[in-house]
Structure 1
Amino acid sequence: MPAPRMSTEQEIEALDEVCQRLAGFEDAISLEWLDGYLTAIVASPRRIERDEWLAKMGQGVFARAYADPADAEQAIKVIDSRFEVLANQLDPELILDDADVLRLAPLMIELSDDDKKQLVADGHIKEDELHLLEQTGEVWAIGFMDATHDFPNDWPDADLETEEGQLFDECMLRVVSLTMEPAELKEVFDELYDGEELTREELIHEALYAAQDMRLYWLDHAPKPPQRRVGELPGRNDPCPCGSGKKFKKCHGAQMQ
């Protein structure tokens, strides 16, 4: 099985620059948030066209941040590059080759103890406020869930009356767990892991495997498109509704004979 594609350092730096510009118009945007958002778009049950999700992402921030067409074109190329990497990592055929292999490699910010001390030393945050910093993977999960909220018809509630629906619901819970406080996490540990407490790294791995599992789930459980309502056909001797002036049987109705 071929190894999953990975973004290069240059590609990540270029994407981070795009995110910094977007953050100037919508402060919730970051490299980690965007990566989570794109992951959910790729994992969706249908191929959502770029123009569709780009217009909704971050409440339409892209159009505000990149009003100049030339700038927008370059930024889109940068985003597309990451999108293609994620599409490869979440390729269902490659996941099915070995479902135990973790292919998804997210862009998550991890602050070491030294990093936190430096933030305090530089005056960016007070020591008694360190607990307010997002944990690793939290912003990624928020981005993922924001995408599902932007496309609710593509991410309907699972049918909890079925075993598969329950498994899908557990997958969503594994992603959401990255955003939870300790008290909430204890309930997740009790529900999903028989009370065993997972490390942060283990929780992240569980969430990433969940994203892969959801990508596979949609292969057999994609939401059904709304039914088209076909109006009553005109009579054979009625005027054709196309406006030609001919009778229906001599115009478009002839194709149905």
Structure 2
Amino acid sequence: MSTQDLTDAEFDELDHLLEQTPGGLDPMDVAMLDGFLAGLLVQPRLIPLDEALPFIFDSENRPLPAEHDPAWLAKLRGLIERRLAQLRRDLVDVGAFDPIVLQLDEEALANEEEPALKALPAYSRALLPFAGGFATALGAFPNDLASFVEDEAHEAIARILRHLPPENDEERAINAEIDAALPLKSVDEAVEDLVLAVGELDALTEPYRYKVDVRKHEAPKVGRNDPCPCGSGKKFKSCHGAT
């Protein structure tokens, strides 16, 4: 795997390849993909890309059609793997990364007709695809990060998801609490806080993600009249089994 991040041209190619997903599926765009990959990386367990790909290809997790083009899939997967590797390196080396952020002009903001989106601050509109991808990762693996019980993890998650339209009174209350404690004034401030939140989650879950379970293996029991395992040639009862 290449150790270089994607170029601007390759990000455009990745977005185009995602749009070419066959079978009438509903794939992510490149900005949403970035949030989804970040959501994978901060899970308390290492999630194989094969386990995550169906969520990238379709919002309903429908499989690719059997007649998909292998060359298309190989190219797309290679670009995703490189971006995933770069995000991991950035989080490990500096605890931060450069997310893909929508560039919204004043006309686009003014012409928004969806009430839930129109109510969002401009900075949240810019980060909405990333936050949506991150939320998809939470929903895709509900027994992992979403069940992580540390208070710091819940706060960091809320700081990312506040860029999505709230769906109920509980979410509105959480967003209001976060906005009061950590107010934002611009896209730059919002990006900085989002990146910090992802980095904090990564640091919190890292010990669980790379935890190695030590298994104890019991040695088989040796009878008193069996040869001693030390290799002396004596019976166990006359050697290391002597009482």
Matches within 5 A, 1:112-131: 112-115=105-108, 131=118
CA shift digits 1:156-182 (9 cap, x unpaired): 4233xxxxx111110011111111459
Task: Indicate which of 209, 217, 221 corresponds to 2:204.
Answer: 217
Task: Indicate which of 104, 128, 151 corresponds to 1:138.
Answer: 128
Residues 64 and 6 of structure 1: CA distance in aligned 2, closer, same or farther (over 3 Å)? same
> Is the deviation greater in 202-211 or in 176-185?
176-185
- AA aligned opposite 1:76: R
Which stretches in structure 1 are left out of the alignment for 5+ residues? Answer: 160-164, 229-257
Return the offset for 1:151. 1.3
CA shift digits 1:171-227 (9 cap, x unpaired): 01111111145965333223x33xxx322422332121111111111123459899x
Return the offset for 1:108. 1.8
CA distance in 2, matches of 1:71, 1:132: 39
8 Å Cα contact 2:42-2:145 kept in structure 1:
no
Structure 1 counterpart SS, 2:21: helix
TM-score, with structure 2 as normaliser: 0.68
Percent identity over paired residues: 22
TM-score, with structure 1 as normaliser: 0.65
Residues 148 and 9 of structure 1: CA distance in aligned 2, closer, same or farther (over 3 Å)? same
Q: Which residue does the alignment assign to 2:184? A: 198
- AA aligned opposite 2:200: D
Superposition CA RMSD, Å: 4.0
Q: Which residue does the alignment assign to 1:51? A: 50
Larger radius of gyration: 2
Give the count of matched residue pairs. 211
Q: Which residue does the alignment assign to 2:79? A: 78
CA distance in 2, matches of 1:41, 1:15: 18
CA distance in 2, matches of 1:156, 1:183: 19
Residues 115 and 180 of structure 1: CA distance in aligned 2, closer, same or farther (over 3 Å)? closer
- AA aligned opposite 1:212: G
Return the offset for 1:113. 0.9
- AA aligned opposite 2:201: M
- AA aligned opposite 2:129: V
Matches within 5 A, 1:89-108: 89-90=90-91, 92=92, 94-95=93-94, 103-108=96-101
